[in-house]
Amino acid sequence: MAATMQDVARLAGVSVKTVSNVVNGYPHIRPGTRDRVLAAIEELGYQLNLTARNLRTGRTGIIGLAVPELSLPYFAELADSVIDAAEECGLTVLIEQHGGRREREIEVLTGARRHLTDGLIYSPLGLGPGDEHLLDVGYPLVLLGERIFHGPVDHVTMANVDAAAAATRHLLALGRRRIAVVGVHPGEVVGSAALRLAGYRAALEEAGIAPDPALEGEAGLWHRATGAAAMARLLDDGAAPDAVFGMNDALALGAMHELQVRGLRVPEDVAVIGFDAIDEGRYSNPTLTTVDPGREVIAETAVRLLHERTSGAGAGEPQRVVAAYRIDVGGSTDPSRRTASPEPGETTTPVPDDVEVPSTR
Amino acid sequence: MAATMQDVARLAGVSVKTVSNVVNGYPHIRPGTRDRVLAAIEELGYQLNLTARNLRTGRTGIIGLAVPELSLPYFAELADSVIDAAEECGLTVLIEQHGGRREREIEVLTGARRHLTDGLIYSPLGLGPGDEHLLDVGYPLVLLGERIFHGPVDHVTMANVDAAAAATRHLLALGRRRIAVVGVHPGEVVGSAALRLAGYRAALEEAGIAPDPALEGEAGLWHRATGAAAMARLLDDGAAPDAVFGMNDALALGAMHELQVRGLRVPEDVAVIGFDAIDEGRYSNPTLTTVDPGREVIAETAVRLLHERTSGAGAGEPQRVVAAYRIDVGGSTDPSRRTASPEPGETTTPVPDDVEVPSTR
DNA sequence: TTGTATGCGTTATCAA
DNA sequence: TTGATAACGCATACAA
């Protein structure tokens, strides 16, 4: 069996408390004592039992990360960044997939696994107005990617409306007028889909173009496949767009694929822009113009906020952090950059979304 | 504070043992008693403290999954599948990234986090011959993707040599003769890179072609970027290939991108085949011909094996499972399928790699 | 069928 | 600076 503190204490001729002190770096220990303990630890190959410590301290050193799916490249890359950032703080990450299914999203918030984690970084898709109370959980929670809740939780978000408008303006600046959007969640009033749609429409109206429902393509989960399917429906319905805004890169790449299946040239016939700046878009053909929402900053900020809540400086006003974004121009909107890496544009100072959010009280 | 079993027992007028029995689904309980307990649980909002149970039982219900990085799409999709498979067994997954760095890979095996998990699904890159003893850990371990160790651990692997040879033969069958390979790890004698290289060379020799070192492109981590860089070096050095075998899809897509940057046509000038069958290759331009190694089967098998070891039927001979593979033909080798989804070929009965592996004793 | 009592390995409280 | 001892919340022999 594995050695315990008792064994170490016995071998070193000290009490368990002293071993504990050594293990935890308590400073006031006589050097000789410490050495004896360290030697005993070495000899026995002792390793601290984290479970026992967790039970005793009530903390686990594990944080949860709840995302729709890891097969969505944005969330895979986000998870990568979160794990690295957590490592820096000595934290471990437990990933949960909820698939964007509302009941799973709720389950994640209250499930038994929350006993295993000190806090949660939470990226829901299915929650909406009226769900604020669900976020009133008894543990530190950092909400990601949305701006929908007024609840007492930290937010790390991006300027969805503003960035989506900027993406649309980029297409308008190319002279495109029939700009489709892919990824719409009908009926949604908050969440990335609704906010990005709002930005898209705002930019169109700003340019004197009336949003056309025939150009708004629905897609539940933001996969390549759903992007391609939405694009196919738009084309079949005769929408005849000259540009497409994919609400994320996977959708955009799926849409681009479908355009190419139909023999349409990107960007000459139809320009395409995405959102997320995943690595994949740097190697697609053509390379993908996209909105870079600052994924790493978002991950690091979320971990930092959670870490602050879980360790010590617990209380305090809920924070809201809005990450800066920029547009990276690739070949899917600029024929001269067909195979060139997307060129970072200017970083835009974050402008928090100011869409009217329905209140529930 | 959160309610404990004590609280529930008091409210229900029973002992903690009874509450425990109810919670754990012990069958021999009088219905009336059970109802009272359930009511008390409901009223108090009681939730089992997993940490306490873990300490008591010595099991956590968590399994570890150690991969290079989640930003590598294959591992992101693998993690997705593993998490889903684990969910089926009531297990939670703790993901660790080791980045293919040897010292991190070793650390993962022995680190304190192993106290939090019942077992580990382990996908190393940096370990090799002479490291078998490192795998002699005191907990259930399932090794993934390799065939390199004779240690007493379960393996779930693929027929790397055979599949790589099949991929190369596919290119040969197109009439290609100067077939490059990308992803070589020089000096490696085991591991995916070495095995796939062996398969590649074997297929060439079988066709009467002498392997040419000038056509073997090195790439440490199998990213799109390293694939592109390796391709660039080969082209700069005048290798002038008419086909490329990417040891994984990310490499292949990176290489394909670099070819397109240079104005070479895929597949007309250079055909490209990858390995992994990630979703991305179904939407690339052209779509990517690839070896489908049966990722889901691998994930499910690994989880099942680990679950068997951790729960009950612990001991028994180390298992070796070799997943079946097949080749999916897309546009990167068949111009008539430029934008078509890769077409599944015949599934090949797994032939375990039979490369001579240096023994260390 | 249910209750009592003990211990899992640690940290924390107090005293020495 | 260190030691003895009591929790932390649960599962489980053993008793009833």
Predicted TM-score of the model (pTM): 0.92
- Chain length of chain B: 361
**The pLDDT of residue A228 is above 80:** yes
Give residue B314's pLDDT: 58
Q: What Å value separates CA A57 and C1' C3? A: 29
**The pLDDT of residue B129 is above 60:** yes
Beta strands, E only, chain B: 62-67, 92-97, 119-122, 141-144, 154-158, 179-184, 216-218, 243-246, 271-275, 289-292, 320-323, 325-329, 343-348
Same domain, A180 and A137: no
Rounded Cα–Cα distance for residues A292 and B273 (Å): 30
Task: Give the pLDDT band (50/70/90) at residue B358.
Answer: very low
Same domain, A259 and A301: no
Would you say B9 and B46 are in contact if contact means Cβ atoms under 8 Å apart? no
Least confident range from A109-123, A175-189, A256-270: namely: A109-123
For chain A, helix, strand, coil in percent to 5 are 40, 15, 40
Same domain, B329 and B184: yes
- A265 belongs to a structural domain: yes
Task: Give the pLDDT band (50/70/90) at residue B353.
Answer: low
Q: What Å value separates CA B10 and C1' C4? A: 15
- Core vs surface per residue A314-352: b (16+ CB within 10 A) or e: eeeebeebbbbbbbbbbbbbbeebbbebbeebeeeebeb
Asked if A2 is an interface residue toward chain B (Cβ–Cβ < 8 A), one would say yes
Give residue B262's pLDDT: 97
Least confident range from A178-182, A277-281, B108-112, B334-338: namely: B108-112
Same domain, A167 and A287: yes
**Which of residues 77 through 96 in chain B touch A, CB cutoff 8 A?**
77, 79-80, 83-84, 92-96
Would you say B223 and B72 are in contact if contact means Cβ atoms under 8 Å apart? yes
Kind and range of the H or E run holding A109: helix A102-110
Residue nearest to nucleotide D5 (CA to C1'): A17
- B185 belongs to a structural domain: yes
Q: Are strands A325-329 and A343-348 parallel, antiparallel or unpaired?
A: antiparallel
- A308 belongs to a structural domain: yes
Write the DSSP assignment of A287-350 as a string of letters: PPEEEE--HHHHHHHHHHHHHHHHSS---SPPPEEEE-EEEEE-TTT-GGGTTSPPEEEEEEPP
Give residue A352's pLDDT: 63
Q: What CATH number should be reported for the domain holding residue A144?
A: 3.40.50.2300
Side by side, the strands of the sheet bearing B119-122 are A320-323, A154-158, A141-144, A119-122, A62-67, A92-97, B92-97, B62-67, B119-122, B141-144, B154-158, B320-323
| Torsion over CA: B67, B71, B72, B73 (sign) | positive
- A347 belongs to a structural domain: no
- A267 belongs to a structural domain: yes
Percent of chain A residues topping a pLDDT of 70: 93
**Span B2-54, pLDDT tens digits:** 789 989 999 989 989 999 999 888 888 888 888 999 999 999 988 889 999 99
Crossing angle of helices B16-23 and B5-12, in 10° steps, is 110
Task: Give the pLDDT band (50/70/90) at residue A267.
Answer: very high
- A40 belongs to a structural domain: no
**The pLDDT of residue B205 is above 70:** yes
Protein-covered nucleotides of chain C (CB closer than 7 Å) are 1-5, 7-13
Nucleotide closest in space to A26 (CA vs C1'): D1
Same domain, B190 and B254: yes
Same domain, A267 and A309: no
Contacts of B44 in chain A (CB under 8 A): none
Q: Do A260 and B71 touch (CB under 8 A)?
A: no
Same domain, B67 and B138: yes
Domain span at B96: 62-157+295-323
Shortest Cα distance from B187 to chain A (angstroms)?
29
Would you say B251 and B219 are in contact if contact means Cβ atoms under 8 Å apart? yes
**Span B251-300, pLDDT tens digits:** 999 999 999 999 999 999 999 999 999 999 999 999 999 999 999 999 99
Same domain, A249 and A281: yes
Same domain, A329 and A183: yes
Preceding peptide of A286 cis, ω within 30°? yes
Same domain, A150 and A204: no
Same domain, A128 and A212: no
Helix (H, G, I), strand (E, B) or coil at A199: helix
Crossing angle of helices B224-236 and B249-261, in 10° steps, is 50
Contacts of B284 in chain A (CB under 8 A): 257, 284-285
Would you say A93 and A80 are in contact if contact means Cβ atoms under 8 Å apart? no
- B229 belongs to a structural domain: yes
**Span A3-34, pLDDT tens digits:** 899 999 999 999 999 999 999 888 888 888 89
Would you say A147 and A155 are in contact if contact means Cβ atoms under 8 Å apart? yes
Same domain, A329 and A193: yes
- B357 belongs to a structural domain: no
Give residue B234's pLDDT: 98
In chain B, the number of structural domains is 2
